[in-house]
Amino acid sequence: MKRLGLSMKKVKAIFITHEHSDHIFGLQTISKKHNIPVYLSLGTRKSFNPKVREDLIHHFEAHKTIQCDNISVIPFSKPHDAADPFSMIVQNESVKVGVFTDIGTASEDVINYFKQCQAAFLESNYDEAMLMNGSYPWVLKQRIRGDNGHLSNDQALKLFLDHRPEFMTHLFLSHLSQHNNSPKLAKSLFDKVADGVKIVVAPRDKETPLYYIRAEGKKKAISLKQQQFQLELF
């Protein structure tokens, strides 16, 4: 955030999608240092010890909106090999941004919320051929490509082609495997069919630039300056 000129005061809450280490590492330190509330499902909390001050912990439920200042967050369950995994829609009055990562299959909830988004972080974790021809143990390969694992490039592309709304402007390809995917390969697949949607690959080793998402369709912009949504992925 420092490199982007952003203050931690902008962070109003931390939402935990599931208990895997790459999603909870540093939680205790950040929450304690900055007194930031932490939101997670009861099932996720039971699966690990958050070690966060009790008054800062809040539980969420599927499809029930949480208000954080002028931003609303809607959690929804997803298929993944965790205790109680969720993803989120983040919205203001006019813009919806979805986080669709760590997902084994495009479930009904995933599809329904994807259809609502002006922008989305969409998992494009692995290339099928790279995974199957790679050095991972067979059990791990099956976990990754299973119904509770991760979305492949082809699965993510199908979700995008079949269900993207006409007003979607940005797609951030996310959670790319270091060993089983290539940013160039993933981006090329989506660029061919983007049809005006800006395709961005979220890098593994640095922050993405800041983007401003507006509520606008392909034919006519309907946004005002105050309807912008600042978006960045770390």
Measured distance between the N- and C-terminal CA atoms of the chain, rounded to whole angstroms: 8
Residue 57 lies in a domain: no
Residue 24 lies in a domain: no
Are 17 and 11 a contacting pair, CB within 8 Å?
no
Residue 14 lies in a domain: no
> In this structure, what CATH number is given to the domain that contains residue 72?
3.60.15.10
5-40: per-residue pLDDT in tens? 999 988 999 999 999 998 899 999 999 999 999 999
pLDDT above 70: residue 170? yes
Domain holding 118, by residue range, is 63-231
153-169: per-residue pLDDT in tens? 999 999 999 999 999 99
Are 39 and 86 a contacting pair, CB within 8 Å?
no
196-212: per-residue pLDDT in tens? 999 999 998 889 999 99
Q: What is the pLDDT of residue 139?
A: 97
Residue 195, phi-psi category: left (phi > 0), alpha (psi -120 to 50), beta (remainder): left
Residue 195 lies in a domain: yes
Four-point Cα dihedral 139, 106, 109, 113, nearest 10: 130
Residue 207 lies in a domain: yes
Residue 1 lies in a domain: no
Residue 42 lies in a domain: no
pLDDT above 70: residue 222? no
- Domain count of the fold of the chain: 1
Residue 17 lies in a domain: no
42-67: per-residue pLDDT in tens? 999 999 989 999 999 999 999 999 99
DSSP type of residue 8: G
